[in-house]
Structures are given as structure tokens and as C-alpha cells.
Amino acid sequence: MRLGLFMMPLHPPERAMGEMLAEDTEKSLLADRLGFEELWVGEHFSATSEPIASPLMFMAGLAPRTKLIFATGVINLPNHHPAKVAAEVAQFDHMTEGRFILGIGPGGLPSDWELFGNTDAMQRGKRMLEAADMMLAIWRQDPPYDIAGPTWTAHISKAVIPEFGIGTMPKPWQRPHPPIAITARAADSFGVRMAVERGWGVVSANFVAERVVEAHGRTLREAREATGRATADTTWRVARNFCIAGTDAEARARIFDDASANRYYFHYLSTLARRGGQLATLKPDLATPDEAVTLEQIIADCVIAGSPATVLDRLVALRDRAGAFDHVLMAGLDWSGPNAAWEQETMRRMAEEVMPRLRQHISATEGGAGVQREQPA
């Protein structure tokens, strides 16, 4: 049961970009010192509130300074030529000697869809799979390359000089490739079923109601039964927002405070979801009309808040309801105002007080069953 840090990252857009990146670096280094094992970083091109365009570039600066396993959360494949991503991922995998998980997705930011001409949801899904298949094909073979799909081609035949390595695409450090994972947001996510079929990992997004996480667990179980794949084939990570304090009352006061980064986080995401007609994934109760869903209801459901004992109880209860997820990813928040102190306390208590007891609980109740430690191949 690994503990990881997931950063979109998300900040108020008026903050200076350099200041935000420095803060995200500091947060990553703190996670490493506290014993977090994974760092997941998102990719967005057209939002000053989500300022990292290249998670690989950001994480490369951290690689020699930490022991972290790095993961893209996610590379939005429809926005890139797959040959470029294949080469960059191979390089990063060598730079970290296999401390890497390739998180992929179709993209979730409407302004990025518009920027790259990927506004059709069905086409985004198809292009994600096309790009992934092309990358895997590149890594499997040596030149010449003649790989074609509906959107992209990867062709090198005339300019191949084997004695100088010309025309040869780099292969990753991990063979045949790094572990691959996709994020899941919708309750009836097709991506969850596809991940099981392909042996990829699943990350349940933190900005969904707990009932959606439970739906992902049901889909995972059904897909495993239908395909005959073992539990170990698909590592399941659950990302959530947390706020841990000395008492339940103190933690609750923090998440609803006007200055709270958790409050800003879900105000931002629920506003975008309402405008895009996607509020359903954030509703604690699907039957509630959109206009009746409040920010406070969303925060109460999506943020696991309380004393260390309460947070442990909520994680155990969620795992009992949803199924045996393998790793927990804590969402990283903006550190403006009081939030730096609040989140640093949460990170410390999560690593030192909650996770050891959660691991003990799993070991005692399951005997280690259902808990896979996905290691780089």
C-alpha cells in the first residue's frame, strides 16, 4: 500500500508562475522526506491556474534530489505526436533508472481541447488508444519503422544508418516498457474496463464523489471476472483530498474556511463541471438536481477530513465499500495563506500516523491479500 502525492497542480491564476513552480517543487521534496513513494504530476497547456505544461520536465529536476517514483498524471496523448512522447518517455525512464509510471489520458481541460483541435470526446478516446498503440509498437521494434494510424504516422526507412544509430528510436529503461496507468472519472468508465483488458493500472480521480470510486471498484471486479485476469494485473490507485488535524472539529473548520485551498479546489472544479455539464461525477447523490448541489456538499464528500483516527476510519470504510485499492494518492493543494501549514501537517500526519495503521489493518484483516506492490519492470 503505497502513499503518493498527486498534483494537477492547481493554484489561483493571479499567482506568479515561478512562485507556483517553486512551491510545487518544495512540496515534492517534503513528500520525499516524509516517505511518500510516488509523485504524480498533471499536464495542462492553456490554464495559468494549472501551470505545468510538461510534467516530465518538472519531474526531471526532482529526479536526482529524491527517491520518488515519478508518474505523469497524465500525458494527454491526443495533444501530441506519439513518436515524440515515446522518445521523451524513454529518455526520462533512463534518467530515473526505471522510477517511472506512464500515466495517460484523453485530456480533461476544455481550453486544451480547443487549442489542439480535440473537441470531439469520441475522437479523443480513439486518439489516445491510437497514440498508445503506436508508442508500444515503436518500443517493440528496431528500424525500419512503418507504423500508420488514422491520425499519425511513424515512418523511417531511407534515413537509417545502423552503425551510427541513425533512424533508431530509443527504448525505455524498463522492458518492455514502463507500467501504464489511466485515470478514471466517470462512474461507468470505459477506461477501467480497457485498463483491465490491457493490464494497465487505474487511478480513480480525486475530484469525484465517493460513490464514483465505488463504481470503479465494481467495474474492476466485473472486468477481471470477464477477462479472467488476476487482481495483480491491474494496480488500482485511489486519489482523494485530505485534511488532517488534531481534532475532527479543527479539520472540518479548515476545509470550510473561506481561505481554504480545499474550498478553492472544489469551487474551481465544480464551476468548470457545471459549465461543461459534467457535475454528475461530483454529486454525492446522483438524483440531486444540479441546481441543488452545494459546494459544501461536494467538499464534505470529496475531502477526507478529521483527526488521524477519523481519517483512518474513513479510508478503511471506503476500501470496504469500494474494494481493495492498492495505493492512496493525496491531492496536493495551493499553499497560499494558512494552507502551507495546514497541508504540511496533513502530509506529515498522513505519512506518519494514518498510513502505518492502514497497512497494519490490511495486514491483519487480509493477510496481505489483495495488496500488490507494483515495481518498475
pLDDT tens string 208-261: 999 999 999 999 999 999 998 876 678 999 999 999 999 999 999 999 999 999
Residues 6+ apart with CB under 8 A from 309: none
The pLDDT assigned to 368 comes to: 52
Instruction: For the beta carbon of residue 152, count every other beta carbon within 10 angstroms.
Output: 16
Give the CATH number for residue 340: 3.20.20.30
Query: Mean pLDDT across the stretch 200-208?
Result: 97
The pLDDT assigned to 138 comes to: 98
Domain-embedded: residue 266 = no
Query: Could you tell me which residue, 374 or 190, shows the higher pLDDT?
Result: 190
Identity of the residue numbered 154: A
Domain-embedded: residue 297 = no
Identity of the residue numbered 134: M
HSE of 327, CA atoms in CB hemisphere, 13 A: 29
Q: Which residues pair with 155 in a beta bridge?
A: 146
The pLDDT assigned to 230 comes to: 75
Residues 6+ apart with CB under 8 A from 332: 5, 6, 7, 8, 9, 24, 27, 343
The tens digit of pLDDT for each residue in 118-143 reads 999 999 999 999 999 999 999 999 99
Is residue 374 scored above 50 in pLDDT?
A: no
The tens digit of pLDDT for each residue in 5-56 reads 999 999 999 999 999 999 999 999 999 999 999 999 999 999 999 999 999 9
Q: Is 285 exposed, middle or buried (0-12, 13-18, 19+ CB in 10 A)?
A: exposed
Domain-embedded: residue 328 = yes
HSE of 4, CA atoms in CB hemisphere, 13 A: 29
Place of cell 514502463: 178
Domain-embedded: residue 244 = no
The pLDDT assigned to 367 comes to: 73
Domain-embedded: residue 78 = yes
Domain-embedded: residue 11 = yes
Instruction: For the beta carbon of residue 342, count every other beta carbon within 10 angstroms.
Output: 24
Residue 36: which domain range? 3-236+307-366
Domain-embedded: residue 206 = yes
Is residue 373 scored above 80 in pLDDT?
A: no
pTM for this entry:
0.95
Phi, psi of 372 (to 5 degrees): -105, 140
pLDDT band at 1 (very low <50, low <70, confident <90, very high): very high
Domain-embedded: residue 110 = yes
Q: Tell me how many domains the chain contains.
A: 1
Instruction: For the beta carbon of residue 75, count every other beta carbon within 10 angstroms.
Output: 22
Say how many residues make up the chain.
377
The pLDDT assigned to 166 comes to: 98
What burial letters (b/e) apply to 39-63, b meaning 16+ CB within 10 Å? bbbbbbbebebbbbeebbebbbebb
